[in-house]
Amino acid sequence: MFLLAVGHACVDVYQGAVAALVPFFVAERGYSYAAASGIVLAASLLSSVVQPLFGALADRWAMPWLLPVSTAVAGIGVALSASGGTYAMTLAMVAVSGAGVAAYHPESARVARVASAGSHTAMGWFSLGGNLGFAAAPLLVAAVVGAGGLRAAPLLVVPAALGSVLCVLALRATRMPGRAGARVVSGAVRDDGASFLKLSLVVVCRSLVFVGLSAFIALYARERVGGGEVAGSAALFVLYAGGAAGTVVGGGLAARWGRVRVVGWSYAAAVPAVAGVVFVPGPAFYLFVALTSAALYVPFSLQVTLGQDYLPTRIGTASGVTLGLTVSVGGLAGPLIGAAADATSLQAALAPLISLPALAWLLARALPEPTGPEVAGPEPAAAEAAPPGPDATEASPEGAEGVGPDAAPWEARGG
């Protein structure tokens, strides 16, 4: 799980890197707000379209090889996007990176769920890895592109190379089941499509707020506090880094109060936090950015496990929506925000985002707290000698020792 979490960080660097590159595109190439938002859209559009497809494929076939391959594609796309001279080339390469990200998340979430034996805590650490990758993105871009300009962007491929190696090592350390579906240990399972649809709308609301802010907050910080590109990179780092704390806190709160209740509280708290980002000037701007980040990230990993419990027979699809579309679909609103900013002001364009956490809170109130089925971990070593039969995805309650929702990853591997 540690290798999977660090690999997750390496691939999510490239989701954060696209937004971190926007101020440099504006400064070096003179892009307008609308043109800059088109770059974020390019990364999000293809990802949004193909993410459910990869989720469905992950439900049907085990494709662990996608983890290292998609990580490499994500890094190469971002590295080439900044080095390409034309706007069309930049959009194309960013779209390629988005496709790599889309391919990674459903399969990685399936692998992580099996490796962790369905532990909510372990999935929280897996999500934390992605959040840390987001947080590292503006620092990496500022260090590489800030020092050498866009011509130094090919160096951004280094995390992808590292992540690909870590994914291979993680897969070797994890004995995956012979078929794509996680093995149900006990209890009849049935999908709750209505609840999953409501949860998906909650995810969309969160994504619109988070991606909308991440696309423009670096530029907005320069207006609110001054300081040029340094102030913008600092604001983006705070937005991403606050998520690390939010993800860790979210798991502890959910253990005490329940996932659905914590998700609702988080979005209620996000309403005044986002309002502070939009309207409060001066250094306090960074405080509200941190509060917004924490409020939006507390429900992050909780939404992933909720989605998997609402669709226990389609883990890949659930993961593709709750883990992947959480980021990608918000980019679809980027051009609208950019066009509104060009026509009015960036503050006026960002103000409507305040209403979205309130809508997410209302939707979350209608969600039930599921009781997810227990999921078996990786195949025991003794089973390697025999190929999986037609019932390889099922196991009896006997032999399910140490695979409950709170089981530790090493216990799931028989350690």
**Tens digit of each residue's pLDDT (9 = 90 or more) over 23-58:** 888 888 888 878 887 888 887 777 777 777 888 887
Q: What is the Cα 199 distance to its own chain's centre?
A: 15
pLDDT attached to residue 395: 37
d(CA 83, CA 158): 15
Looking at residue 186, what is its pLDDT? 42
Highest-scoring range by mean pLDDT, 28-37, 134-143, 263-272: 263-272
More confident residue, 396 or 330: 330
Q: Which residues contact 156 (CB under 8 A, 6 or more apart)?
A: 14, 17, 75, 78, 79, 82, 140, 141, 144, 145
pLDDT (average), residues 208-214: 88
Does the pLDDT value for residue 393 go beyond 90? no
The verdict on domain 2-369 having CATH code 1.20.1250.20 is: yes
pTM of this structure: 0.69
pLDDT of 161 higher than 60: yes
Read off the pLDDT of residues 63-118 as tens digits, 9 standing for 90 and up.
889 999 999 999 999 999 877 678 888 889 999 998 898 889 888 888 887 887 76
* pLDDT attached to residue 273: 96
**Residue 230 banded pLDDT, cuts 50, 70, 90:** confident
Q: What's the whole-number mean pLDDT along residues 351-366?
A: 95
Q: What is the pLDDT of residue 413?
A: 35
- The answer on pLDDT for 223 being more than 70 is yes
pLDDT for res 194: 92
Residue 182 has pLDDT above 50, yes or no: no
What average pLDDT is seen over the chain? Answer: 80
Q: Which of 136-145, 220-229, 288-297, 404-413 has the lowest mean pLDDT?
A: 404-413
* Mean per-residue pLDDT, 361-374: 82
User: Is the confidence at residue 399, as pLDDT, over 50?
Assistant: no
Q: Is the pLDDT of residue 406 over 60?
A: no
